[in-house]
Structures are given as C-alpha cells and as structure tokens.
Amino acid sequence: MALLPIITAPDPRLKRKSAPVERVDAGTRQLMDDMLETMYAAPGIGLAAPQVGELKRIIVVDIAREDEELAPLAMANPELLWVSDEDAAYDEGCLSLPEHYAEVVRPASIRLRYLDRENEIRELEADGLLATCIQHEIDHLDGVLFVDHISALKRNMILRKLLKLKKSEQKAEVGA
Ligand code: GNR
Ligand code: NI
C-alpha cells in the first residue's frame, strides 16, 4: 500500500482523456488499493486515476460516513448506460481544486457498467451523493473538472486562485 501524491489544478494531466484498462490485473488492483488508501487519507469520497498522474480509466469511491463501515468501490472502465431526466444539485468539492466548492447540477440517478477488482463486469444503479460522486469521477477520466459545469466567471475565479497558490508554493520551494 502506498499514499500517492494528488495533482492539483492547473495541470495539463487533469485535462487529458484517460485510456481504457485492457483487463484488471495485479498492477491495476495495486493502483486501485493505493488510490483507496490515498482517498481515505485525504480525506475524500472519490478519486480518479488521473488525479494521481495515471491516465487510466480507473476510479474509486466510498460515500460512507465516518460513523459507518467502509464501503469501498473500485471500478475500471466505468460507463454510464442511462441517466435520469431528473437533475440534482450538490455542493461539490474536488481534491484537485482544494478548498473550493460550487453547486453543480447533474442527472439525479444513473445506471453504469464497469469492471470490478476481480475483472468481472458489473452493473450498478445509483442516486443521491453516490450518483453525483461517480459522475464527478467519470468526468475526471474525460479531462473534465466540476468547474467546467459552472459559470465561466466562477470557474476563472477558482482557477486563478489556484494558479496563484501554485506559483507562490513554487517560489517557496526555490527559496526565492
Ligand atoms: O471528496 C470529494 N467530495 C465530493 C463532494 C461532492 C461531489 C463530489 C466529490 S468528489 C471529491 C473527491 C474528488 O476530487 N474526486 O475526484
Ligand atoms: Ni475530483
């Protein structure tokens, strides 16, 4: 098990489209486990492989609260099969856009297909926070961040702040 560094915006790797996994092998399982460990440590309720620099279609999710048992989900090649006409709005955050939140509207319910940790094809129906989180993670696999769903004004405000933060951190590293 290993904690992986999480990439924050702006970073070109967060804008790329990730490649499908051919099959879930030992290496894929290791990455899934490391991503779960990294997600729990952050803490977060989801994590997509490109956020740790791996441009592969792999996501992990666990929306259980702290007082509930762990409910880890690890998926390769998640694919939406159906989305509801009904929408739901959630105040979303992202480990790659630290400390910024905005209301995002998405389909309220979804049905998806994916490969599980054992390389078995599975289907899942989700609504509520789980549906929101899975859609947020699949977006990452297509180079889309939650700020791409909000107004350009709010998006640019958040991205400008993160760019400033990154520049000041880089200066601090160099010791300037
Ligand atoms: O930890 C996270 N919380 C969250 C809250 C609302 C909607 C989506 C999320 S996902 C986020 C972790 C993350 O950045 N996953 O990519
Ligand atoms: Ni995210």
Structure token pair of residue 73: 């989900």
**Choice from 106, 133, 144 to test ligand 1 binding pocket (greatest atom count within 8 A of CB):** 133
Bridge-based pairing of strands 73-83 and 58-61 is antiparallel
Residue 18's identity, in one-letter code, is S
Q: How far apart are CA 169 and CA 173, in angstroms?
A: 6
Residue nearest to atom 14 of ligand 1 (CA): 94
Whether residue 174 has pLDDT greater than 70: yes
pLDDT in tens, 18-72: 999 999 999 999 999 999 999 999 999 999 999 999 999 999 999 999 899 999 9
What are the pLDDT digits (tens) for 90-134? 999 999 999 999 999 999 999 999 999 999 999 999 999 999 999
Query: Is the confidence at residue 176, as pLDDT, over 80?
Result: no
The residue to mutate among 75, 91, 92, having the most atoms of ligand 1 within 8 angstroms of its beta carbon, is 92
